[in-house]
Amino acid sequence: MNICRTKQQLKLAVREAKKQQQSIGFVPTMGFLHEGHASLLREAKADNDVVVLSIFVNPMQFGPNEDLDRYPRDEERDIALAASCGVDIVFLPTTEEMYKRKPLTTIKVEEVTNRLCGASRPGHFDGVGLVVNKLFNIVLPDRAYFGMKDAQQVAVIEQMVQDLDINVEIVPCPIIREPDGLALSSRNVYLSAKHRAEAATLSQSLNKLHHKLSADGNMSADECITFIKDEILTNTTGEIDYVELLQYPSLTVINGQASLSKSVENQRFIVAVAVKFGTTRLIDNALFQVSEVIERV
């Protein structure tokens, strides 16, 4: 496995792969890898000749009071996991290497960033857009793999790639979960035992909603939101940041009172939640397709 710490080293490795007409699959991460990342790497390995993994905790996507300084890191373990997934190239730049000078260019994807994490974390997606653009320009991947736990991030990146004609296929990959349903996240390590047990409520409430929607496609968006909020408030001590039901991937608002099978006919909607357990903010979501019935996708 080739470990590149500078852009120059990585560009040389990419040039070599391109010279041999090898396809490049790219998995951008902030490290502290878990099974969710491993599933992206395996999918990239199955689809491409060469897999590039980047590990970079991007300061530009953290707000002033967020967890940049305590974001978990374990380079040695990450490198071992990458090797076990068949990664060919790991890109591990420092902040100084990544941002040689203060960037004066902004990537601002409008509308899709107005709600959910875009509203709760102002500037977050500008930072994501900037670093993902830079990484795409350095890695020149044929395909890039992103987990659907960050469904809004996927929508933002797909929009950006389309708007800027970036020559890469975005491959959204399913959320990987613990046996009790908790979505895997590097931030789960922060949770106390009590909060860890409660955190499973997020996915469990989405599952219960799925069952209710399968039985009653006439539920409205407001009824769904109330149901999820009640579940979280009854079963956890967490503080709700948001529970929203929006069209996906446009992330536009749906008429709150109308029956979902009418208001979202033949389209997809997302139920997205963000809840703070102590100082740890977790997100989760479920995506649904409205056709004859409402199905989870």
Pairing mode, strands 169-173 and 24-29 = unpaired
Q: Which stretch binds ligand PAF (CB under 6 A): 6-14, 25-33, 112-120, 235-243?
A: 25-33
What count of Cα atoms within 13 Å lies in the side-chain half-sphere of residue 190? 16
Q: With binding defined as CB under 6 A, does residue 202 bind ligand PAF?
A: no
Paired tokens of 48: 């491409």
What are the angstrom distances between the C-alpha of 151 and each of 40, 56, 112, 171, 272? Answer: 15, 20, 11, 12, 9
Q: Which of 85, 132, 272, 290 binds ligand PAF (CB under 6 A)?
A: 132
Does 139 sit near ligand PAF (CB under 6 A)? Answer: no
- Neighbouring-strand partners of residue 147: 173
Determine if 159 is a binding residue for ligand PAF (CB under 6 A): no
By the rule CB under 6 A, 113 interacts with ligand PAF? no
In eight-state DSSP terms, residue 173 is E
How many residues make up the chain in this entry?
A: 297
Q: Which residues are catalytic?
A: 37
Q: Which amino acid is at 212?
A: K
Residue 128 makes contact with ligand PAF by CB under 6 A:
yes
Closer of 30 and 90 to ligand PAF (Cβ): 30
Residue 29 contacts ligand PAF per CB under 6 A: yes
Q: Does 150 bind ligand PAF (CB under 6 A)?
A: yes
- The correct pick among 28, 93, 141, 238 for binding ligand PAF (CB under 6 A) is 28
- The nearer residue to ligand PAF, 30 or 199, going by C-beta atoms, is 30
CB nearer ligand PAF, residue 61 or residue 205:
61
Interface region with ligand PAF, contact rule CB under 6 A, candidates 80-88, 127-135, 252-260, 277-285: 127-135
Q: By CB under 6 A, is residue 90 in contact with ligand PAF?
A: no
Cα gap 113→119, rounded to integer Å: 7
The single residue listed with the structure tokens 């996708």 is 297
Q: CA distances (Å), 56 to each of 30, 32, 110, in order?
A: 5, 10, 25
DSSP symbol at 183: B
* Candidates 101-109, 124-132, 169-177, 277-285; binding stretch for ligand PAF (CB under 6 A): 124-132
Interface with ligand PAF, residue 30, by CB under 6 A: yes
Q: Report which secondary-structure segment, H or E, holds 146.
A: strand 143-147
Interface ranges with ligand PAF (CB under 6 A): 28-30, 58, 61, 128, 131-132, 150, 153
